[in-house]
Structure 1
Amino acid sequence: MSDPGELLSATALTAFRLNGQFMEVAEGLARPAGLTATWWQVLGAVLKEPLPVAGIARVMGMTRQGVQRIADLLVEKGLAEYLPNPAHRRAKLLRPTPDGMIAVRRINPGHRELAERLAAELGEAEWTAALQALGRLSAALDAIEKV
């Protein structure tokens, strides 16, 4: 397949399928912890440091409005909280609460098991190459969107 149009279509369809597969797996991992895949995704973005909604959207490839809706829901459920943002008065920072951290930690054993199964199926070298290829593809899309 050497036609760029065909390559783009096949790549996009594969990425859409992969996204669907990851979301289905994520739903299964998150459900026993009382989360959804998207709640987990937003909480996961702020595990290391609080971020504003726009920052979470950028990191996760989601819309700012979608992240705002989920962030508000997480705060309402007591899984996250808003903090003042010294860099921007109106754009508060989101961080997980202790209950949010506990919920995310409950996912870890299933996440570890899935990772080990994928590693056994792919092997480290093939998995690393796939990850690097996805990273290059994402960077290329970023680069051409700016033009």
Structure 2
Amino acid sequence: MKQGLGTQLRHLIELLDGAVQQAYTDAGLDYRPRYTPVMRALAQQRSATIGQLAELAGITQPAVTQTVALMKKEGLLLVEASGADGRQRVVRLSSQGEALLPRLQECWQATKRAADSLDADLDFPLSECLAQAIAVLEQRSFGDRIRAAHSKTKPTL
């Protein structure tokens, strides 16, 4: 039986994230792969709001909010109130987060080389396929596609 797209994507993520998590463990790091987009953004831009991090990292604001909360709990980030009413939060790396960066960057470089190796072994590079899929879905969401497909299957009276 052919697996559906969602099942294939979940399995792919399991294969990739599991290996990346193991690489961090092998490097002696207590670090989650989900932290990487936030860490990379803050490594380039020393401080940012949650909204700015979402844009820089290319992930949703709720995902950034959850990730920042976990990272703050683990001592990797500092979060301070900002703005006229204090509701905006500015995030920056803690000294512990800063100290972790050089070792993380080594892992990121190895992960990039592994990703390039994977792309080279495929008929069509996965990174290009994913970028194209994201761009197409940003033009017309998967939800819109489901609704359109559903309306085509409704019986007409």
TM-score interval, normalised by the smaller of the two chains = 0.5 to 0.7
Partners of 1:134 and 1:122 lie apart in 2 by 11
Task: After superposition, give the CA deviation of every residue in 1:105-124 in whole Å (9 maximum; x if it has no partner).
Answer: 21333333343344345439
Give the superposition deviation at 1:62: 4.8
Secondary structure in structure 1 of the residue aligned to 2:104: helix
- Is residue 20–residue 111 contact of structure 2 (8 Å, CA) maintained in 1? no
- Is residue 79–residue 92 contact of structure 2 (8 Å, CA) maintained in 1? yes
User: Amino acid of the residue matched to residue 48 of structure 1?
Assistant: Q
**1:26 equivalent among 16, 20, 38:** 20
Give the superposition deviation at 1:10: 4.0
Percent identity reads: 12
Q: Structure 1 unaligned runs (5+)? A: 1-5
TM-score, with length taken from structure 1: 0.66
Q: 1:130 to 1:79 in 2, by over 3 A?
A: same
Q: Which structure has the bigger radius of gyration?
A: 2
Matched residue, 2:113: 116
Q: After the TM superposition, which residues 1-147 of structure 1 pair with which residues of structure 2 at under 5 Å, given as runs?
A: 10-31=4-25, 32-49=28-45, 50-57=47-54, 59-62=57-60, 64=62, 66-86=63-83, 89-120=86-117, 122-123=119-120, 129-145=125-141
User: Amino acid of the residue matched to residue 30 of structure 1?
Assistant: Y
Q: 1:143 to 1:61 in 2, by over 3 A?
A: same
User: Amino acid of the residue matched to residue 143 of structure 1?
Assistant: Q
Partners of 1:109 and 1:81 lie apart in 2 by 23
**How many residue pairs end up in the alignment?**
138
Task: After superposition, give the CA deviation of every residue in 1:71-119 in whole Å (9 maximum; x if it has no partner).
Answer: 2342343311124545984121212123213223213333333433443
Greater RCO structure (CA 8 Å; 6+ sep): 1
Q: Structure 2 unaligned runs (5+)? A: 145-157
15-24 vs 79-88, which moves further: 79-88
RMSD: 3.5
